Amino acid sequence: MNLCRREEAVFLRTIPLKYPRGATNPSFRGLTPFSSFQAIHSEAMLGILPTTTREGTKMPENRIRIAPNTVAYADEERHKLVVEFAIPGAPTDTIDLKILADSVHLTAPARDIEYVSALALAWPVKPDKAEAIYEHGLLRIEVPFKDPMEDAVKVAIKASGKEIKAKKIEA
C-alpha cells in the first residue's frame, strides 16, 4: 500500500523548467500570437501577394476574413430593425449588402482584410424598403418590420344547418 502511494507521488511531482534570466523557451522563440497575420500584412503592403483591382482600388486576392463588430436592435417607436456594422477602411463601392425577409448578408473588402457577416433575423422584415448609410467606417441599416398579418387571407365562413337570428340583449 505504501508502495502505491510512493509511485503516485513520483508521477505527480513536476520538474520546473529553468532558463537563464530573461531567456524564453527555445521552441517558441520568435513567435508571437499574430506573427502569421503580421507576415501576411507585411507581404500585402509590400506588394508581394497577388492583387486584383476592383474599380480602381488595389486589394490583395488572399484577404483574411473577419466578422465586423455588429449591433442589432428593434426600434419600437418607428417599427424598424436597426443593424450597425463597424467596417472601417472599406470603400463604399466595394460593400456588398444583401437583405432577405429573414436574414442580412454582408461582405466588405478593406485593404488586406474582408469583413464578412450573416445574420438570421427573428422577425421578418421588408427588404425592399431598407435604407443604408455608411459614414466614418460605420454602416447603419434601417429596415421596417413586416406586419405578420400583411399576407393573411380572409376565409369566408359558411353556417351549417339552420340560420340563427341575432337577438338583442336588454340591460
169 located within any domain: no
24 located within any domain: no
pTM of the model: 0.57
41 located within any domain: no
Which of 38-42, 102-106, 151-155 has maximum average pLDDT? 102-106
Residue 155 has pLDDT above 60, yes or no: yes
1 located within any domain: no
Number of H helices, E strands in the chain: 2, 10
Residue 105, strand partner residues: 98, 118
| Nearest to 104, CA basis, from 140, 64, 62 | 140
66 located within any domain: yes
Q: What's the pLDDT tens digit per position in 127-145?
A: 999 999 999 999 999 999 9
State the pLDDT confidence band at 4, using cuts at 50, 70 and 90.
Answer: very low
14 located within any domain: no
| Nearest to 144, CA basis, from 160, 130, 158, 154 | 130
12 located within any domain: no
105 located within any domain: yes
Specify the CATH number for the domain of residue 129: 2.60.40.790
3-state secondary structure of 143: strand
121 is in which domain, residue-wise?
Answer: 59-144
Q: What's the pLDDT tens digit per position in 59-78?
A: 556 789 999 999 999 999 99
* Residue 148: per-residue pLDDT: 84
Q: What's the mean pLDDT in 87-99?
A: 95
Question: How many domains is the chain built from?
Answer: 1
